[in-house]
Amino acid sequence: MKRILITGGAGFLGSHLCDRFIKEGYEVIAMDNLITGDMKNIEHLMPLEQFHFYHDDVSKYIHVPGELDYILHFASPASPIDYLKIPIQHSR
Ligand SMILES: NC(=O)c1ccc[n+]([C@@H]2O[C@H](COP(=O)([O-])OP(=O)(O)OC[C@H]3O[C@@H](n4cnc5c(N)ncnc54)[C@H](O)[C@@H]3O)[C@@H](O)[C@H]2O)c1
């Protein structure tokens, strides 16, 4: 089974990508710090064995065990309302 990491997986685009790759038969790892995302977008995927959620900030050190076939990087606030409030996320 192919494995894919989708950052921003609880966001608008990321959550739809999670749905799509689950349908395609992938093991999907969604990573999100939930700064603008919402668990409601992916709650229907949580019971699935082939879906994993990591509550992590991609601007810090991250670790995903095992090999990955693809990484889709969508972790970034997209809405002008959000990015005017948080133009730069600082690692603490
Ligand atoms: N929505 C669009 O129409 C559109 C069009 C073109 C490009 N994009 C780009 O796609 C990306 C995602 O857009 P979206 O509409 O899904 O935005 P969104 O805000 O709905 O999703 C972004 C997700 O990334 C997460 N996130 C933000 N910073 C993070 C961090 N440091 N670590 C982990 N997770 C983090 C948020 O919590 C959220 O779930 C953005 O880069 C955006 O510019 C979006």
33 ligand 1 Cβ < 6 A: yes
> Domain limits at 43?
3-85
Mean pLDDT of 64-88: 91
- Cβ pair 8, 16 in contact under 8 A: no
39 ligand 1 Cβ < 6 A: no
51 belongs to a structural domain: yes
Mean pLDDT of 61-66: 94
Q: Which residues make Cβ contacts (< 8 Å) with residue 87, sequence separation at least 6?
A: none
CATH of the domain at 61: 3.40.50.720
9 ligand 1 Cβ < 6 A: no
Mean pLDDT of 74-85: 88
Domain total of the chain:
1
Q: Which atom of ligand 1 is nearest to the CA of 76?
A: 27
pLDDT above 70 covers what percent of the chain?
97
Both tokens of residue 37?
């995302």
7 belongs to a structural domain: yes
90 belongs to a structural domain: no
Q: Is the pLDDT of residue 80 over 90?
A: no
Residue 35 Cα, ligand 1 centroid: separation in angstroms? 10
36 ligand 1 Cβ < 6 A: yes
